[in-house]
Structure 1
Amino acid sequence: MTDLAIGIFGIGALFGLMILRTPVAFAMFLTGFFGVWYLDGLRRATAIMFTETYSSISSYNLIVVPMFVLLGNIASEAGFSRALYDAAHAWVGRFRGGLASASVIGCAAFSAVSGSSVATAVTIGRVALPEMKRLGYGPGLSTGAIAAGGTLGFLIPPSTGFVIYAILTEESIGRLFMAGILPGLLMSSLFIMAIWIVTLRNPNAGPRGEAKPLAERLRLFGRAAPLIGVIMISIGGIYLGVFTPVEASGVGAGLVILIALLTGSLSCTGFVSAIGDTVKTSAMLYMIVVGANVLNPFLVITDIPLALSNMLTSFGLGPYGTLVLILLSYVVLGMFLDGLAMLVVTIPIYYPIILGLGFDPIWFGVIAVIVIEMGMITPPVGLNVFVVRSVAEDIPLHTIFKGVTPFLIAMIVTLVLIILFPQIALAIPNSMFG
């Protein structure tokens, strides 16, 4: 059996393990370790296991993950996420579909501290869904807005998706964070436009809320201002060159803890819970990085990336035709795998192909994250849909999937615009880093 055939068999085994619900990290670890053992012997496989495990976990850049996760968990436990939603609700709730729009704005703002799609959907969903139900919002629009809005956590910095992409490709985390800002704002705007179109066609889906006086709106904005300030300091500090992404994560986590303690909004129980959730999430992400770094040498030995590149080139579709095929493969994989699984499995294979086609790797990182986001709200997996379903147990899954359709169209429009106009993703990082 040739090395390439063994590589193909290994990829099949990897997907088989994940379909059997083996954790992604362990599926990659087992495939990489036993694949290298079969090809190059136990000594090489053991050496890779130890060296890659140590080098990947000891990476200084990975400190970003637990710090930003901690920031998001503390903000959630202290009730700052509720303040963000209340402020957005006060300003746009009086418009038709305003509560759904406020949910998207709340998701976008909370994404800037959590970096997690699931955490964003759960946090804002618990606050917004009961309120939308009380005001008679259509179940499809209310749940669809939360499920789609939650995906912004994977795009708006600090995104864990960008951190993992940067670790796998050795690209700059700072450039990737900055590249996600304008696409994140664009997608948020298109989500709000989708809500407007839905309520224009069916006014009962999103009735108007009560208009609040200016003084009340300013008061609620003031309650959200501390967390908005933390977001501005963290992300703005990276943009201005005051902080590196790692330093910004530490500053942001420290500030939000300090604010929570000074305002008395964080109990000892809440603090311990936030720490525990941070440890669990960070350990999971660290293990995924370890698994990916053990799998990568196996892929290199078997020449899987080179073989796939040659196959795609043989189709004669040109750079953009090949890119479309790659994106379509993400859509198919999104029907079976969660976002991080797709990222860590495909990037080591597709990244060399993208470089060979002459595309900017930072731009492709944004494109890949958006397509992976689409997988979070499409059947049959649709992780964010199931997350929202856990919060709104009385709403059938098919209603939620139907509700996310307008937002899925908005994501496709965002994707097309960024492909046609790459500067949407590259303008900020190019202006910063030259």
Structure 2
Amino acid sequence: MHPAAIGFIGLAVFFALLILRMPVAMAMLISGFGGIAAINGLPAAYATLSAETFEIASFLELSVVPLFVFMGNLAGLSGMSRDLYDAAYAWVGHRRGGLAAATITACAGFAALSGSSFASAVTMGRVALPEMRRFNYHDGLATGCVAAGGTLGYLIPPSSGFVIYAILTEQSIGKLFIAGVLPGILLTGLFLLTIAILTRIKPELGPAGPKADLVEKLTTLRRAATIIGIVGVTIGGIYGGIMTPVEASGVGAFLTLVVAALRRSLNRESVKVVVLHTLRTTALTFMILIGAHVFIPFMALSRIPGTLVIWLTHLDMGPVGILVVVLATYVILGTFLEGIAMLVLTLPVVFPVILELGYSPIWFGVIVVIVLEMGLISPPVGVNVFVVKGVAPDVPLNTIFKGIWPFWLAMLLCLALLVAFPQIALFLPNSMF
């Protein structure tokens, strides 16, 4: 049988296993292993499985995943995430939509500490939703800003999305982290602008809260200085060339552990919860990467990616037209595929096209991560929407989805700006490296 035919059969098996609710890592392992065995024989399939498993398990750069996840879990446990929210609320909570703006700001700060969209959505949801409801915020705006703000964990470094992209495309994790800084600030600003526009059109969506005096503002800012300082040390260390991403993740995790110990937040039960959650997230990430590194060689052997590269690059659309087609495909896939699954499934096909067209792989990594963020709040999957639903079970899903659309459009605008002005993403990595 022709390798391309085997490749299409393997893709069909992969999607069938996903429909049967098999975890994406195992679906990639089974279809990839079977495809390699069908094309090159069983010994080659066993060799690929063993070699890729060992390579992923011993890859030093991947140690940033457990360390940053551990750091984010400790930040939530020790109350640093609440401190950040309280400070943001004290400074802007007295304005219309101020609590929603505080939530977005706190999500951005927590994303810079945890690198996880789910952790940001859960933590900020538990902290912010009760406060917004107390001040009669509309459920759509309240849940929408938590779901959208949580997605910033995929873009603002340290981002798990950048780590996965870097491993799959063999790019620099440090460059991708730095490239995400300005787009992360831009998207946060667009979210804040969205809230301002919504509450100006309909003030009842986000009534103003009580005004804090200067003493209270300075007090909350002093309490939040710990988390701000840790973020500054980790991200500043990478930007200044003092630390590698791996070293920065270790320093950040250690500092967060020290703060949690000084705040007497650590006991046997809490440490057990933090460690188990970190292990669960790390194991899931590693399994997905192992599955991807078995599935990707199968795709290469099938010759489907190479054929697609030749076909796309010969289309009479120009590089920009092909890029728009690729991004539109990602947006559509994001409506029913989870972000990491989308990366590992599409990058072996799409990435060679991007390189052939002459686009920067670092810039493309940033815009791909933004499209992944859009998928996190896109119906019908919208993982972050279901995370917020778990925090606010009495809010109908329809209300939450209605609340996220203005933020989804803000993401689309951010994507368009980055396509039009690539230097937004490339200025910092080009000036550093």
TM-score range, shorter chain: over 0.9
* 1:166-199 deviation digits (Å, cap 9, x = unpaired): 1111100000000000000000000000001110
Residue 303 of structure 1, CA deviation: 1.0
Q: Between 365-374 and 9-18, report the one with greater CA deviation.
A: 9-18
- Report which stretch shifted further, 123-132 or 18-27: 18-27
Structure 1 moving runs of 4+ over 4 Å: none
Equivalent residues in 2 for 1:361-380, closer than 5 Å: 361-380=361-380
Contact 2:69 2:278 in 1 (8 A): yes
Residue by residue, what CA displacement relative to the aligned partner does 1:379-415 show, whole Å, maximum 9, x if unpaired?
1000001110111111111111110111011001100
Contact persistence 1:77–1:271 (CA under 8 A): no
In structure 2, what is the Cα distance between the partners aligned to 1:57 and 1:344? 17
Residue equivalent to 2:388 = 388
Map of 2:68 onto structure 1: 68
Quick one: distance in 1 between partners of 2:25 and 2:330?
19
Any unmatched runs of 5+ in structure 1? none
* Corresponding residue of 2:27: 27
Partner residue in 2 for 1:161: 161
Cα deviation digits, residues 93-136 of structure 1 (max 9, x gap): 01100000000001000001111111110000000001101100
SS in 2 for 1:207: coil
Query: After superposition, what is the alpha-carbon deviation per residue over 1:189-239, rounded to whole angstroms, capped at 9, x for unaligned?
Result: 000000011101110000001100111111111111111111000000000
| Other-structure match for 1:269 | 269
Equivalent residue letter for 1:299: M
C-alpha separation in 2, matches of 1:12 and 1:328: 22
> What TM-score results when the alignment is normalised by the length of structure 1?
0.98
Q: How far apart are 1:263 and its partner, in Å? A: 2.3
- Distance in 1, matches of 2:422 and 2:110, equals 26
What root-mean-square deviation, in Å, do the aligned CA atoms of Structure 1 and Structure 2 show? 0.9
Please give the alpha-carbon distance, in whole angstroms, between the structure 2 residues aligned to 1:158 and 1:258: 20
Deviating more after overlay: 319-328 vs 10-19:
10-19
CA displacement, residues 341-391 of structure 1 (integer Å, 9 cap, x when unaligned): 111111122111110010000000001000111011111000001110111
Matching residue's letter, 2:241: G
Give aligned pairs, total. Answer: 433
What is the match of residue 431 of structure 1?
431
Following superposition, the deviation at residue 314 of structure 1 comes to 3.6
State, as a whole percentage, how many aligned pairs show the same letter: 55
* Secondary structure in structure 2 of the residue aligned to 1:404: helix
Conserved 8 A contact 2:116-2:153: yes
Question: Could you tell me whether the CA contact under 8 Å between 2:83 and 2:224 is conserved in 1?
Answer: yes
1:231-242 correspondence runs (5 A): 231-242=231-242
Q: Give the corresponding residue for 1:82.
A: 82
* Structure 1 CA distance for aligned equivalents of residues 426 and 19 of structure 2: 36
Matches within 5 A, 1:261-300: 261-300=261-300
Per mean C-alpha deviation after superposition, the further-off stretch among 214-223 and 13-22 is: 13-22
2:324 paired residue number:
324
Find the counterpart in structure 2 of residue 190 from structure 1: 190
Give the distance between the partners of 1:81 and 1:11, measured in 2 at CA.
42
1:11 is displaced (CA, Å) by 1.6
Gaps of 5+ in 2: none
Aligned equivalent of 1:178: 178
Equivalent residue letter for 1:404: I
| Alignment-derived partner of residue 105 in structure 1 | 105
Cα deviation per residue 1:46-92 (whole Å; 9 max; x = unaligned)? 00000111011110100010000000011111111111111111111
Single out whichever of 158-167 and 17-26 deviates more from structure 2: 17-26
State the distance in 1 between where 2:334 and 2:176 align: 22
For the residues of structure 2 that align with 1:173 and 1:268, how far apart are their CA atoms? 34
Superposed displacement of residue 311, structure 1:
2.4
Match of 2:11 in 1: 11
2:151 aligned with 1:151 = yes
